[in-house]
A = this chain, B = another copy of it.
Amino acid sequence: MYSVREFLEITEHELASLTYPPKPDGLYAPMRYALEEGGKRIRPILVLMGCNLFHESVTVARPAALAVEVFHNFTLLHDDIMDASDTRRGKPSVYKKWNENTAILSGDMMLIYAYRLLTRCEPHVVPRLLEVFNNVALGVCEGQQYDMEFETRENVSVDEYLEMIRLKTAVLLGGALQMGAICGGASAEQTELLYRFGLLIGLAFQLQDDLLDTYGDPALLGKPVGEDILAGKKNFLLSSALALATEEDRQQLLTLLHDNTLPAAEKIASVKAIYDKLNLKKRTEQKISEYFNTAFRTLDVLEIDPERLQPLRDLASELIKRQK
């Protein structure tokens, strides 16, 4: 049985051993850059963990772990263009370091690479892996589409927001765990339960992100709070506030969000005051706990030695209880 740390080491080792054709370097250099150390590698770790629940050696899951990480980084390359995000993990994003065309084309190539890596898994599991992967990948695209559409909409309901983050973030975490379990020889029922677990952890993970943006400690976060508020991002707190507030508070909230003359600190404080009135910190924490508890109950029906499940429980707890 491996620890989270060992899974991370395996992932980094595998990523470092990936070979690239010597040319055209303009196409492959951005892929190398995107996959350099620095990411949290949560998704490949989940693949390896999913496998290790059922299989002592995780060698059989290595290509799938790599495929998932390459896929994730493909989405980042393209998302950064779409969202005009200039930095990624403290470094210039690919489209900023090179240009948009390079980020488009290298991203495409990484998506194809992800598929190629998948086909290097044991032949008897490849069809099931492809089915999960195709659904996950389409879901992630749909999630990104909703995320972009929400930017220009006045109102986004809580359910719409949750559906968006389910697609954009959670299905890949669920799919990673499921694919690992498939590689490890789990039954269809077990892989479904692990998908469900990953999905719920993914939802909780994103809500924790939303919560920290407003209620986090800037010293621990390493960045200022309130960025979502300033960007008018319809995250869980804002979509909840728009649904729960009195008509008067709702109007005030919309006015505040559209007011670009207001100093940043004042805008954040005023929006936060409305959130406080609606008890949104506690509501969000409750929602996170709900997802978390449902996820952990899913593990109970898996019929796996509890000790064997411990690394997965630890990782999930860490992801959700994090303060940064």
Q: Chain A interface secondary structure, helix, strand, loop or mixed?
A: helix
- Considering only residues 19-34 of chain A, those with a C-beta below 8 Å from chain B are 21, 24, 26-27
Q: Which of A103-111, A196-204, A265-273, A290-298 contacts B (4 or more CB under 8 A)?
A: A103-111
Whether the Cβ atoms of A141 and B127 lie closer than 8 Å is no
Return 5 A-B CB contacts under 8 Å, by A number. Answer: A21-B142, A24-B145, A81-B100, A111-B112, A119-B130
Chain A residues packing against B (C-beta within 8 Å): 21, 24, 26-27, 78, 81-82, 100-101, 104-105, 107-109, 111-113, 115-116, 119, 123, 126-127, 130-131, 134, 137-138, 141-142, 144-146, 148-149
Whether the Cβ atoms of A115 and B141 lie closer than 8 Å is no
- Given known pairs A82-B105, A104-B81, A104-B82, the reply for A123 and B119 (CB within 8 Å) is no
Whether the Cβ atoms of A131 and B119 lie closer than 8 Å is yes
In the complex, how many angstroms separate the beta carbon of A66 from the nearest chain B beta carbon? 15
Identify 9 new A-B residue pairs, CB closer than 8 A, beyond the known A81-B100, A105-B144: A21-B142, A24-B142, A26-B148, A27-B145, A82-B105, A108-B111, A111-B112, A112-B137, A112-B141
Contact of A109 among B107, B115, B138, B148 (CB under 8 A): B138
Whether the Cβ atoms of B101 and A82 lie closer than 8 Å is yes
Contact of A115 among B82, B104, B115, B145 (CB under 8 A): B115
Whether the Cβ atoms of B104 and A145 lie closer than 8 Å is no
Q: Cβ of A141: which chain B residues have Cβ within 8 Å of it?
A: 27, 105, 108-109, 112
Residue of B nearest to A82 (CB): B101
Q: A149–B29 Cα gap in the complex (Å)?
A: 14
